[in-house]
Amino acid sequence: MTSEPVTSRYWKVSSTQEPSKGRRVAFRVWGVLTSLLFLVLFGFGVVELVLMWLPDQTLTSMFDEPPNLPVHRTHFLIVGIVSGAFLLATFVQLRKPERRVASLLQLAVMALGGTVVYAYSGTLGEWLSEEWIVLVPVLVLALLHPKARDLVAKPGFDRNMTLLAGIATIPWLAFIVDNSRLQLINAAGDAHAEMEHWATAALLGITIVACAVIGSTDHRGWRLPAWIAVAASVIFGIHSLVFPGLPSGLTTAWAVAAVIWGVALAGTIFRKAPRAPDSAAT
In order along the chain (282 residues), what is the average pLDDT of each group of 10 residues?
A: 40 53 89 95 92 87 74 93 96 92 95 89 67 91 90 89 94 95 78 86 96 94 96 98 95 97 95 61 44
Residues 172, 168: Cα–Cα separation, whole Å? 6
Q: Is residue 6 part of a domain?
A: no
Residues 155, 260: Cα–Cα separation, whole Å? 27
Closest CA to 228 of 212, 239, 240, 216: 212
* Helix axes of 21-51 and 73-91: crossing angle, nearest 10 degrees: 160
pLDDT of amino acid 33: 96
pLDDT of amino acid 66: 66
Q: How many residues does the chain have?
A: 282
Q: Is residue 256 part of a domain?
A: yes
Give 7's strand partners.
12
pLDDT of amino acid 13: 39
pLDDT of amino acid 193: 82
pLDDT of amino acid 12: 37
Q: Is residue 11 part of a domain?
A: no
Q: 124 CB contacts (<8 Å, ≥6 apart)?
A: none
| Amino acid, single-letter form, for residue 67 | P
DSSP code string of 217-228: B--TTTHHHHHH
pLDDT of amino acid 3: 41
Q: Is residue 153 part of a domain?
A: yes
pTM (2 d.p.): 0.87
pLDDT of amino acid 154: 87
Q: Is residue 104 part of a domain?
A: yes
3-state secondary structure of 66: coil
Closest CA to 118 of 41, 201, 49: 201
Expressed as residue numbers, the domain containing 55 is 18-281
pLDDT of amino acid 63: 76
Give 6's strand partners.
13
Q: How many domains does the chain have?
A: 1
pLDDT of amino acid 119: 84
Q: Are 280 and 219 in contact (CB under 8 A)?
A: yes
Q: Is residue 1 part of a domain?
A: no
